[in-house]
Amino acid sequence: MKTTTIYDIAKEAGVSIATVSNAINGKGKVGKKKRDEIFQVMERLKYQPSVIASALMGKKTYTLGLLIPDVSNPFFSEIARSVEDLAHSAGYSVIVCSTDNRDERVEKYIQLLEQKSVDGILIGTGMENPEILVQLSEKSLPIVMIAREAAAISVHSVLTDDFKGGALAAGHLLQLGHSRMAILSENIKVSSSNERVKGFEFALFEAGVPMDNKQLISCDSSIKDGKRAALELIRGEGLRPSAIFCCNDLLAIGALQAAKEEGVRVPEQLSIIGFDNTILSTVTDPALTTIAQPMDHMVKLAFDLLIASPESGDTIKQRIVMQPELIIRESTDKPSKQGNQDN
Amino acid sequence: MKTTTIYDIAKEAGVSIATVSNAINGKGKVGKKKRDEIFQVMERLKYQPSVIASALMGKKTYTLGLLIPDVSNPFFSEIARSVEDLAHSAGYSVIVCSTDNRDERVEKYIQLLEQKSVDGILIGTGMENPEILVQLSEKSLPIVMIAREAAAISVHSVLTDDFKGGALAAGHLLQLGHSRMAILSENIKVSSSNERVKGFEFALFEAGVPMDNKQLISCDSSIKDGKRAALELIRGEGLRPSAIFCCNDLLAIGALQAAKEEGVRVPEQLSIIGFDNTILSTVTDPALTTIAQPMDHMVKLAFDLLIASPESGDTIKQRIVMQPELIIRESTDKPSKQGNQDN
DNA sequence: CTGAAAGCGCTTACAG
DNA sequence: CTGAAAGCGCTTACAG
């Protein structure tokens, strides 16, 4: 079944294909009468211009790439949805690429996206070696980092002040009266996690609260890993921490499960705080205290930069930093005396 | 910055573009020596063939569309990830389309996907009027339904036996000794939900357990809606149900929250059972008893049908039905006597 | 084994 | 205002 092309329309309407093209794109003047006729024919023949063909002539593909660690991770699936909605209302489609933060996948996906001539790439994935982006950044393909930073290269980026976020978490715990804290971090190579940890530690330092290095565990970013790591922390020798700062909600949930398994009550005996304010944090019992990033806003800004940036030229690369927010729910409370005795 | 084309390669290698094309695609015989030289030049110039251009010549775009209600819904984001992985290892990219089950969006997205000449569409979204798919199904664009059915049209589909799933849930509750059951369903127009409800009701009927129509509430598919609807059920006049069957995990979580808010203990005073076995069901406290669909397997089958189907012709449309599985966790238990008295 | 040429479905100057 | 023609980057018969 042949699809109808611009030639079919031209023939039916008794005009040239150039005129049809002009009518469709509102270019060059086309007489009202002819224009109407053309549109009628298009309607009748259910003509849909081929994006492929027009892309080949240098026009846009109206397709964007979105690189994230994992769509099935709620934090990123929520981002994906925002991106998709924005894209859709601007006439774009989005190709979702889950990288698992693996360089090999990042590079492969980027190559694929280039071959498909996407109009831009939104990068929300971490990677082991940020250098792999430098080649990309030197091409004319627009890219914008979201919820990440790539200090090594010159690109637009919109991200949350992760350092501040870590500090916020620490401040909350400090104010509650905690002094024995532990940290569950995802792979420290991931810059955002690294910042969060630093911010947390710095706030502790400023408050004169010591932080034992052995109380910082870094692991993969999944509930299972979080649980395993938290178990170490809870069962560990010496005094059990009275509070755990987790670099994301997934790890926090792992910690919640570890506590449950060990019969440690949250928040009475152990406070747990997450990061990202994903839907998961509203669903646990106790619901998670966490740090929120203004994702919708960030996605909006990143998207606009991505779509608008080709015009503005390569000159000024923006770095937009948003403020994180502490969301207090049920998983944090004052440290209890019991907590100590149990151990 | 001009991207390097097949012409550049041809010139550098001192051959014609046809020969370069043949070398790349392993078509026609190309002398080993020339071939090697060509590949060297491609390497050196970092040449990446344009998918756009080859697609225009009738080759594939290696891009697939995935229509689902909402990527940010964990059930679908998990599907999206499986699809993406399968697609990626077969060299395809996937454009994710969240429809919110709205016909208008479904139609718009399909049109977009057609214009972009995707090689196939995986449809996992519900819609108000399945008729909107008939035109699509008559085109040469391969489509496969996943976790859905579209009785009206002739397409491949791979889905779970939702009726059986509903019956499984009922069987579990019945065996526990429940007799006052309620149902929380998502929009009854969604065929899968409809089947689940019917299966549940049928099992009750067979067991001779009456089911009051007023105990069936249908609402949108979100935690918030589930909570609101469950609140109705719990506060409702007359005896409070001792068990609620929820057509998906999101609604079940809403029910969990409603119970918590009303001070009704789960599962002691109220059993709640979900559907889909999403990550959410492992995260709540109590963890959700739910019905699992073998999604990975289903996605694999659907994907293979989608990619292979053009060859096999239009003739035999398959309908593959998978068996659901009861996953017992903590949110269901025997009905207690207290339950009744409370109300 | 290799190359000249036509063509995929469009857009874009350029004449008229 | 409208059309003939060239060209985007490839692939595919078809000659040689």
Given an 8 Å threshold on Cβ–Cβ distance, is B96 in contact with A51? no
> At B143, which helix (H) or strand (E)?
strand B143-146
Task: Tell which of A96, A140, A281 to mutate to test the B interface (max B CBs under 10 Å).
Answer: A96
With cut-offs at 50, 70 and 90, classify the pLDDT of residue A313.
low
Phi and psi at A153, nearest 5°, equal -125, 165
Please check the confidence at residue B28 and state whether its pLDDT lies above 70: no
**Å between CA of B62 and C1' of D10:** 15
Query: Measured between alpha carbons, how far is A49 from A57 in angstroms, rounded to an integer?
Result: 13
For residue A339, pLDDT beyond 50: no
Identify nearest nucleotide to residue A5 by CA to C1′ distance.
C9
Query: B314 falls in which pLDDT band (50, 70, 90)?
Result: low
Q: What's the average model confidence in pLDDT over A50-78?
A: 94
Over residues B312-327, mean pLDDT: 84
What's the average model confidence in pLDDT over B148-157?
86
pLDDT over 60 (residue A222): yes
Residues near B58 by beta carbon (within 8 Å), at least 6 away in sequence: none
A146-157 average pLDDT score: 87
The full DSSP string for A154-205 is: --EEEEE-HHHHHHHHHHHHHHHT---EEEEEE-TTSHHHHHHHHHHHHHHH
- Lowest mean pLDDT, pick from A276-285, A317-326, B28-37, B222-231: B28-37
How far, in Å, CA of B94 to CA of B73, rounded?
18
Pairing of β B181-186 and β B243-246: parallel
**Which string of DSSP letters, residue by residue, matches A285-312?**
SSPPBEEE--HHHHHHHHHHHHHHHHHH
Q: What is the pLDDT of residue A140?
A: 84
pLDDT of residue A58: 82
A314 pLDDT higher than 70: no
Pick among A95, A102, A136, A253 to test the B interface (most B CBs inside 10 A): A95
Q: How many helices (H) and strands (E) does chain A have?
A: 14, 12
> Given an 8 Å threshold on Cβ–Cβ distance, is A71 in contact with B80?
yes
pLDDT of residue A343: 38
Looking at the partner chain, which of B96, B253, B260 has a beta carbon nearest the beta carbon of A96? B96
Average pLDDT of span B314-343: 80
Instruction: State residue B128's pLDDT score.
Output: 82
Predicted confidence band of residue B342 (pLDDT cuts 50, 70, 90): very low
What is residue B32's predicted lDDT score, i.e. its pLDDT?
Answer: 82
- What digits encode the pLDDT tens for the residues A2-12? 688 999 999 88
Q: What is the pLDDT of residues A131-144, one digit of tens each?
A: 888 888 888 899 99
Q: How far is the CA of B14 from the C1' of D8 (A)?
A: 22
For residue B116, list chain A residues with Cβ-Cβ distance below 8 A.
51-52, 61-63, 93
pLDDT digits (tens, 9 = 90+) for B254-277: 999 999 999 999 999 999 999 999
Cβ contacts of B73 on chain A, cutoff 8 Å? 77
Question: Which distant-in-sequence residues (6+ apart) come within 8 Å of A133 by Cβ?
Answer: A123, A127, A143, A150, A152, A153, A155
- Report the residue from A49, A73, A116 with minimal CB separation from B63: A116
For strand C, list residues 55-114 of chain B whose Cβ lies within 7 Å of it: 56-58
| Chain-chain contact of B85 with A78 (C-beta, under 8 angstroms) | no
A71 and B96 within 8 Å at the Cβ level: the answer is yes
Q: How far is CA B112 from CA A82, A121, B117, B130, B218, in A?
A: 18, 19, 9, 18, 32
pLDDT value at position A95? Answer: 98
CA B57 → C1' C9, Å?
A: 10
**Which tokens sit at A48?**
């849909």
pLDDT reported for residue B340: 45
Please say if the pLDDT value at position B311 is more than 80: no
Looking at residue A309, what is its pLDDT? 60
Contacts of B88 in chain A (CB under 8 A): 108-109
Distance CA A199, CA A165 (A): 7
Q: Which of B81, B93, B94 sits opposite A72 (nearest CB)?
A: B81
For B177-334, where are the alpha helices, taking DSSP H only?
A: 191-206, 223-235, 249-261, 295-312
| Whole-number distance in Å between A115 CA and C1 C1' | 29
Mean pLDDT, to the nearest integer, of A148-159?
87
Q: What is the mean pLDDT of residues B100-120?
A: 94
Q: Which nucleotides of C are covered by protein (CB under 7 A)?
A: 1-5, 7-14
B79 Cβ partners below 8 Å, 6+ apart?
A: B66, B68, B124, B146, B147, B295, B299
Q: Is the pLDDT of residue A182 over 90?
A: yes
Residue B131: is its pLDDT beyond 90? no
**What mean pLDDT do residues A160-187 have?**
95
Interface contact flag, A93 B115, Cβ < 8 Å: no
Lookup: tokens for A235: 């069962």
pLDDT at B274 (0 to 100): 97
CB contact under 8 A, A94 and B94: no
Question: Which residues in range 20-59 of chain B are in contact with strand C, contact meaning CB within 7 A of any of its atoms?
Answer: 22, 28-31, 33-35, 53, 56-58
Greatest CA separation found in chain B?
A: 91
Amino acid identity of residue A135, one-letter, is: Q
Given an 8 Å threshold on Cβ–Cβ distance, is B112 in contact with A94?
no
Summary mean pLDDT of chain A: 90
Strands B93-98 and B63-68: parallel
Cα of B96 to nearest chain A Cα, Å = 6
pLDDT band (50, 70, 90) for residue A48: very high
User: A2, A56, A72, A112: best mutation site toward chain B, by most B Cβ within 10 Å?
Assistant: A72
Contact: B95, A98; criterion CB under 8 Å: no
Q: Measured between CA atoms, how close is B129 to chain A, in angstroms?
A: 20
* pLDDT at residue A34 tops 60: yes
For nucleic chain D, give residues with Cβ below 7 angstroms from it: A 14-19, 22, 28-31, 33-35, 53, 56-58; B 2-3, 5-7, 17-18, 21-22, 24-25, 27-28, 47-50, 53-54, 56-59
Rounded to whole angstroms, how far apart are CA atoms B116 and A129? 33
- Residue B135: other Cβ atoms inside 10 A: 12
Q: For residue B338, is pLDDT > 70?
A: no
Average pLDDT over residues A258-273: 95
With CB atoms and an 8 Å threshold, state whether B284 touches A282: no
Q: Summarize the confidence of residues B230-245 as an average pLDDT.
A: 90
In whole numbers, what is the pLDDT of chain B averaged over residues?
Answer: 90
Which chain B positions have a beta carbon within 8 Å of A1's beta carbon?
139-140
Least trusted range by pLDDT, from A237-241, A304-308, B155-159, B249-253:
A237-241
Q: What pLDDT sits at residue B317? A: 85
The DSSP secondary-structure symbol of B334 reads: P
Contacts of B284 in chain A (CB under 8 A): 283-285
Of all residues in chain B, the one with the smallest CA distance to A82 is B72
Query: What does A219-237 look like in DSSP terms, one character per residue?
Result: E-SSHHHHHHHHHHHHHSS
Distance of CA A334 to the CA centre of its chain: 32
Residue A54's H or E segment, with its range, is helix A51-56
Compute the nearest-CA separation of A67 from chain B (Å): 12
Using the CA of A18, which nucleotide's C1' is the nearest one?
Answer: D3
- Does residue B291 surpass a pLDDT of 50? yes
CA B121 to C1' D4 (Å) is 39
Place of tokens 């979080």: A226
pLDDT at A1: 58
- Give the per-residue pLDDT at B272: 97
Which pTM value belongs to this model? 0.92
Q: Which of A289-293, B109-113, B139-143 has the lowest mean pLDDT?
A: B139-143
Question: Residue B343 pLDDT more than 90?
Answer: no
As a residue count, chain A comes to: 343
Interval B43-59 mean pLDDT: 92
